[in-house]
């Protein structure tokens, strides 16, 4: 496993690079410091962002895997590099929400901060060129993006992940408002939770102050994203990135 070597670049996204390895069933995922919002319209380089996302994501994927939701993570190769089972990504983004925020508030004219009576699962079609539009099961079924059993699994797994993450963040005094997941089909046919679970794809509000601890700081110009992410890292791990006092 530790002999995995990095091969050709397969895909460069906004936040990560995906490389082949000598094992056709594994990919090497590298987390970059690039920050983007509004589908790439707003961009910046934020020092340490890749490392914070990679390390928090490895931690949370581990917790979720231990709770019985299989994930793609095979090995943490470096603070910014994950070795993962290669999947065929299902083009359905699974968004789980506990509190109204972001596009849900905009689309339905609801107040940000409204606590939902139970968690809500929404699907969005994963398409940068279309700006990830909201979709229903019918779109996935009739356009051939996923089968009915897969959609049922996505919903079920999304809610299970929410149980784990909500408890994890609550312990740290953080409200898990919402988050996005991606799933894929592994070479053996198994559905795996893929991509990342990080403050880039989550909304995290400090329970005491209401402060945003996630990428909304960048989207909405609420402060320094690097400082926010380093502080969140310290809250999760009890120490700073270099292992020293929280920074």
Ligand X SMILES: Nc1ncnc2c1ncn2[C@@H]1O[C@H](COP(=O)(O)OP(=O)(O)OP(=O)(O)O)[C@@H](O)[C@H]1O
Site for ligand X in 177-216 (CB under 6 A): 182, 184, 194-195
Q: Which of 27, 96, 140, 164 binds ligand X (CB under 6 A)?
A: 27
**130 or 172: whose CB is closer to ligand X?**
130
**180 or 212: whose CB is closer to ligand X?**
180
Burial class from Cβ neighbours inside 10 Å (0-12, 13-18, 19+) for residue 16 reads buried
Strands 73-78 and 81-85 turn out to be antiparallel
Site membership for ligand X, residue 146 (CB under 6 A): no
Site membership for ligand X, residue 15 (CB under 6 A): yes
Q: Which of 49, 72, 77, 215 binds ligand X (CB under 6 A)?
A: 72
Site membership for ligand X, residue 13 (CB under 6 A): yes
Q: Give alpha helix (H) positions in the chain.
A: 49-66, 102-108, 137-142, 148-171, 216-219, 225-237
**14 or 139: whose CB is closer to ligand X?**
14
Number of residues that bind ligand X (CB under 6 A): 19
Residue nearest to ligand X (CB): 13
The angle at the Cα of 230, spanning 228 to 236, to the nearest 5 degrees, equals 105
Query: Minimal distance in Å, beta carbon 246 to ligand X?
Result: 27
Q: Which of 25, 114, 128, 147 binds ligand X (CB under 6 A)?
A: 128
Q: Give alpha helix (H) positions in 67-101.
A: none
**56 or 100: whose CB is closer to ligand X?**
56
Query: 199: closest CA among 76, 100, 54, 78?
Result: 54
Site membership for ligand X, residue 96 (CB under 6 A): no
Q: How far is CA 44 from CA 71, 105, 204, in A?
A: 29, 26, 21
**58 or 84: whose CB is closer to ligand X?**
84
Q: List residues bridging with 81 in a β-sheet.
A: 30, 78
């Amino acid at each position: 496993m530790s002999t995995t070597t990095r091969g050709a670049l397969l895909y460069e996204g906004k936040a990560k690079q995906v490389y082949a390895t000598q094992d056709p069933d594994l990919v090497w995922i590298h987390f970059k410091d690039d920050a983007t919002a509004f589908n790439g319209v707003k961009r910046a380089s934020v020092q340490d962002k890749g490392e914070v996302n990679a390390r928090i994501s490895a931690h949370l994927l581990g917790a979720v895997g231990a709770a019985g939701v299989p994930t793609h993570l095979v090995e943490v190769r470096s603070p910014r590099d994950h070795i993962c089972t290669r999947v065929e990504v299902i083009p359905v983004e699974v968004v789980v929400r506990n509190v109204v925020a972001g596009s849900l508030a905009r689309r339905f004219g609801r107040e940000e901060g409204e606590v939902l009576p139970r968690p809500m699962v929404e699907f969005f079609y994963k398409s940068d060129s279309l700006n990830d539009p909201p979709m229903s099961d019918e779109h996935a079924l009739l356009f051939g993006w996923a089968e009915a059993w897969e959609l049922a699994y996505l919903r079920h797994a999304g809610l299970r992940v929410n149980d784990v993450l909500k408890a994890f963040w609550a312990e740290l005094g953080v409200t898990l408002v919402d988050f996005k997941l991606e799933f894929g089909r592994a070479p053996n046919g198994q559905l795996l939770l893929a991509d990342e679970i990080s403050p880039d794809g989550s909304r995290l509000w400090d329970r005491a102050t209401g402060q945003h601890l996630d990428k909304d700081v960048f989207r909405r110009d609420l402060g320094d994203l690097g400082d926010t992410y380093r502080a969140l890292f310290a809250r999760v791990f009890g120490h700073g990135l270099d292992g020293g006092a929280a920074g």
